[in-house]
Every structure is written in structure tokens, then in C-alpha cells.
Amino acid sequence: MEDKITIDFLGKDKKSVYEQLNQQLEALIAPDQDLIASLGNTAALLNEVLRPLWVGFYIVKNEKLVLGPFQGPIACVHIAFGKGVCGKAWETKQPQLVPNVHEFQGHIACSSLSNSEIVVPIFNAAGDVVMVLDIDSENFAQFDEEDQQGLEQLAAIISKYYFN
Ligand code: SME
């Protein structure tokens, strides 16, 4: 990866931030690059731009979600189908926008500092969930529909490059 991240995100509205972030992602990852390397760089890019408490991937492996590349504090290694916000996104195949994790039944608190989160599923060509992207924040209601849209586009890029 020779490209330096040079996007100026300051003063930009959220939609433009995600447009630029996703453009940057297209330049950063490539289908012939190792998937784990690309997920690592994707987590780093998201961390740089969004500055969340935690950002990373949980990958479907042996009928569980297993911790993948991430940035932030140490996290839970395994999450079962349907459990927590990540497991719910896997089960329902729907993004989960959680403004207050303390009100989400079954939330898995990897960090006591987390107050809100968003989880977006990533699909293969058959429509199965192959991993989820999880972003946690110390702020309540940090994420909204614009984040969801931007992150669904990001998920679609990863699907297109690696799971089509
Ligand atoms: N918040 C997640 C667990 C993963 S960690 O927060 C990194 C959940 O309830 O699914």
C-alpha cells in the first residue's frame, strides 16, 4: 500500500465523508490482495476517519462469528448466531443501528465504555452473511441512517472484491 491517506474530512458533511472514504477504500483494497490484509487496512481507514471506540470485523467461521481484524480495545473472540448485536445482524441479515446498547437485549459488552453501535452484514454472492462490520462508540446515538448507507456501500465494495 503506497497510497497515503490524504483525504481532508474536516468540515465535510457525512455523505461526502463516506463517498470519499469508499473511494479511498476502492484504491486501498484489491481482489488479488489477501482478504485479512484488506480487512486490516479497512479497519484502519475507518478508525482514522470515524475515530470510534472500536471498529472491526467478525467473520463467520464454523457456525460462529470469530474476531477478525480490528482497531481498538481487546474484544470478545466468539459470538454465537443471534447473540448480541453482531449475532443479530447475522441472523436477520439486516444492519443493526443501536443508539443505546444498554437497552438492547443480549448486548455483548466487550467494553464497558461502549454506549452505541452499528453493525452491518457483509454478504457473498449467494446472499449468505460471511462477516459483519461492527463499530462501537462511547457516545450515545453516534450513528444514524447516513452512517448505515455509507457503511452498506463499504460492505458492498468488500463483497464485490472478495465474495462475488
Ligand atoms: N458489541 C457487540 C460485541 C462485539 S464488541 O463490542 C467489539 C455485540 O453486542 O454484538
Position 2 scores a pLDDT of: 42
Least Cα distance to 150 among 5, 1, 9, 6 occurs for 9
pLDDT-derived band at 4 (thresholds 50, 70, 90) equals very low
For residue 55, the CA-to-ligand 1 centroid distance in Å is 10
Q: Across residues 13-36, what is the average pLDDT?
A: 94
**CA dist list (Å): 83 to 22, 45, 105:** 29, 27, 9
Q: Which of 134, 137, 142 should be mutated for ligand 1, with most atoms under 8 A from CB?
A: 134
Position 110 scores a pLDDT of: 85
Least Cα distance to 138 among 109, 117, 120, 118 occurs for 117
User: Which is higher by pLDDT, 8 or 95?
Assistant: 95
Distance (Å, whole) CA 144 – CA 97: 7
Least Cα distance to 157 among 24, 49, 34 occurs for 24
Whether the per-residue pLDDT at 5 is higher than 50: the answer is no
Ligand 1 site residues (CB inside 6 A) read 54, 75-76, 79, 84-86, 107-108, 110, 114, 117, 134, 136
Position 12 scores a pLDDT of: 77
